[in-house]
Amino acid sequence: MKKAKIVKKPSTKDQGKVQSTNGTPSLTPAPTTTAERAKKSRGRPKRELAEEYISPIRVKLQPYKDGDINAIPRLPVFLPSSGASPIWNPWTKEEVNLYLTEDHPFNRRGFRYIPCGAAPDLPGLMYRQIEVPPYWSRVNYADMSMQVLVDHCSATVVSTEKGYRMARANVCVREGKWFWECRVLKGNESPTGGNVRVGWTRREASLETPVGFDAYGYGIRDVTGQKMHISRGSDCMKDGFKTGDVIGLYICLPSISSQLGATLSKKSTKASKTLEFTNDIVSNVVRDRIPIRYKGQLYFEQFECVPTKEFQDLLNHSSSDDVLARELKLREQGIPNSSIRVYKNGKYVGTPFESLLPFLPPHSVPLSTLGARVVDDGALGYYPSISVYEGGVAQFNFGPDFDCFPADLRHDASSTAALHERVRPMCERYDEQIAEDVVWDVVDEVDIGLNPDDIGGNGEIAVEG
C-alpha cells in the first residue's frame, strides 16, 4: 500500500506531537513540562482521576484541495475472481457474483483505515468520518482478509478460494442485547468441500484465521458443531450445520458504565463509586486519527489494537498446569452477566460462552512501539464475524427481517420493552454508530475551541499521496 506523504515543520512546541518514520504517520503525544500542562489545564474543570478528560492529539492541517468539498465517496474496485463462479442464494432467489476488492487500504498491524471527507462546518477538525455505499450494516471492506470474496450489491455474502479467511462487519456491540443470523449458502458438503465458521470477534482477532482461533473471538464450527475459543473445541451443536442452515447469534453485554465500574473497582473503590450512576460519556472516547490520501481518496488513519503476549501464549496447546492456570485467570476477568447464545434454524442450541473477555482499556491496547496511547476510540467491542474456507459461502443477515428469529427472544424484542431490555437486530447499530460519531465530532470541535493551544500552530501535515 502506498504510504501517505507526511510533511512536518518541526518546532520546539510541536516536537513529538506528530512524527514520521519512513513515511508512516505516528501520533506519539508530545512530552510536556509541568508548566505546559498547567497552561493547558486553564479553564478546564478539575476532575476526579476516574473522570479525567483526555484530549485527542491535535495537528494543524493544510487547506482543502480542489474537489475535497462535496467529494463523492468512492467504492473499492471489484475484480472478478478466476476461480469463483456465481452461487444461487435460495433466500433472496437470485444468483450472486463474488469479487475480490482493491484500490482501498486494508487494516494492517498497527493501523486501521476509515473513509473520511472534508467538514467545512467543523473548522477545528476539518474532516469527519463518512460512509460508502451500500449504506447499511454489511462487511467492512477494510476489515476483511484481502483474499475474501464479497458480493457487489449487498456486501453481505462472503467466500474465499484459500484457507480460512475472515470478514468482520462494519458494526460492533459494546453493550445491550443484539442478534444476527448467518445464512450458510455452501458449507460442510461432501465431497465438494468448503467450510464456514461463525461467531463474534474483537478487532485484535487475525483476519487470516478462523473465528475462535485466538482469545479475541468466539466461534462455532460447521463440521462438528463444536464451540471454538483459543483454538480449543468442545461439544455444543449436535451434527453441526451445513448448506441451507441458518445460525442465529445472540450476544448480551452489560452497560458501558458498569463495565468501566468493574474495571476500575479492581484499582479503586472510590473510582467505581464515581461511575455508579454515569453513562457512556464517562468512557472518554478518544479518537487519535489523522487524515491521509490514498489513491485520491481521503481516509482517517488511526491506531489499531493488537494481540498481547499474554493472550498469544494461550495458543500453546500444552496441558501444563501453568497454561491452564493462566487461562482460568483470564476467564475470571470476564465481563459479568455477558454471554453468547447460539440457535440453529430458530431452535435454541445452547449458551456456549459466558463471562466474555473485556475489551475496554486496558484490555485492548495498540502497538506499543508506535507510541500510541491506550484509549477507547469508541469502536472497541465485539463484531459479527464469518470465516470461510476453500469455497465455503455464507451471508450476514443483520435484520430486521430474520429467517428464523428465536421464539424465546420474541418477548424481549417487543416494541413495548425498554431499549436496554429488548433484543435488537444488528441493523440498528449502523445508524447508532453514525450518531455516536457525530456526537464525538461535536465534543472534539468544542474541545479544540476551548483549548486552541493543543493544536501545533507552527506545524503542518500534508494529506498527499
Averaged over 178-199, what is the pLDDT?
93
Best CA proximity match to 180, nearest among 202, 156, 151: 156
Best CA proximity match to 194, nearest among 343, 390, 50: 390
Give me the pLDDT at residue 319, please.
56
Give me the pLDDT at residue 112, please.
96
224 in a structural domain: yes
Q: How far is CA 334 from CA 200, 269, 356, in A?
A: 15, 19, 5
pLDDT for 131-161, tens place per residue? Answer: 999 999 999 999 999 999 999 999 999 999 9
Looking at the DSSP assignment, which residues form a beta bridge with residue 453? none
CA distance 20 to 5: 9
Give me the pLDDT at residue 332, please.
80
What is the band of 251 on the pLDDT scale with cuts at 50, 70, 90? very high
pLDDT for 415-424, tens place per residue? Answer: 556 666 789 9
Give me the pLDDT at residue 91, please.
97
Q: Are strands 94-96 and 149-151 parallel, antiparallel or unpaired?
A: unpaired
Give me the pLDDT at residue 464, please.
53
pLDDT for 303-348, tens place per residue? Answer: 999 999 888 888 876 655 666 677 677 778 899 999 999 999 999 9
455 in a structural domain: no
What's the sign of the alpha-carbon dihedral 60, 73, 146, 206?
positive
For residue 462, is pLDDT > 70? no
Q: What is the CATH number of the domain that holds 385?
A: 2.60.120.920
CA distance 163 to 139: 19
Look-up of cell digits 468512492: 74
**Which domain covers residue 152, as residue numbers?**
79-118+133-254+286-425
Q: Which amino acid, one-letter code, is at 40?
A: K
159 in a structural domain: yes
Q: What is the mean pLDDT of the chain?
A: 82
For residue 450, is pLDDT > 60? yes
Q: Is 460 helix (H, G, I), strand (E, B) or coil?
A: coil
83 in a structural domain: yes
Q: What is the dihedral of CA 323, 324, 325, 327, to 10 degrees?
A: 90
Looking at the DSSP assignment, which residues form a beta bridge with residue 342? 249, 350
Give me the pLDDT at residue 456, please.
60
17 in a structural domain: no
pLDDT for 79-120, tens place per residue? Answer: 998 877 899 999 999 999 999 999 999 998 899 999 999 999
For residue 268, is pLDDT > 70? no
CA distance 294 to 387: 28
Give me the pLDDT at residue 58, please.
82
- Count of the separate structural domains present in the chain: 1
pLDDT for 189-243, tens place per residue? Answer: 987 779 999 999 999 999 999 999 999 999 999 999 999 999 989 999 999 999 9
φ/ψ of residue 184, rounded to 5? -90, 100
CA distance 269 to 442: 32
CA distance 378 to 67: 30
Averaged over 252-261, what is the pLDDT?
92
- Percent of the chain with pLDDT strictly greater than 70: 77
49 in a structural domain: no
Give me the pLDDT at residue 123, please.
94
Full-model pTM: 0.85
Distance of CA 454 to the CA centre of its chain: 28
Task: Answer whether 395's CB lies under 8 Å from 92's CB.
Answer: no
260 in a structural domain: no
* Joined grid coordinates for residue 463: 494529506
Looking at the DSSP assignment, which residues form a beta bridge with residue 150? 99, 158
For residue 412, is pLDDT > 90? no
353 in a structural domain: yes
Give me the pLDDT at residue 126, please.
96
pLDDT for 32-80, tens place per residue? Answer: 333 343 334 333 344 444 445 678 888 888 899 999 998 998 999 999 9
Best CA proximity match to 386, nearest among 193, 133, 212, 131: 212
Query: Who contacts 227 (Cβ-Cβ below 8 Å, separation ≥6)?
Result: 212, 218, 219, 220, 233, 234, 235, 236, 237, 342, 352, 353
Looking at the DSSP assignment, which residues form a beta bridge with residue 433? none
Q: Which amino acid, one-letter code, is at 100?
A: L
Best CA proximity match to 215, nearest among 237, 230, 236, 228: 230
Task: Answer whether 60's CB lies under 8 Å from 459's CB.
Answer: yes
CA distance 112 to 260: 25
More confident residue, 372 or 148: 148
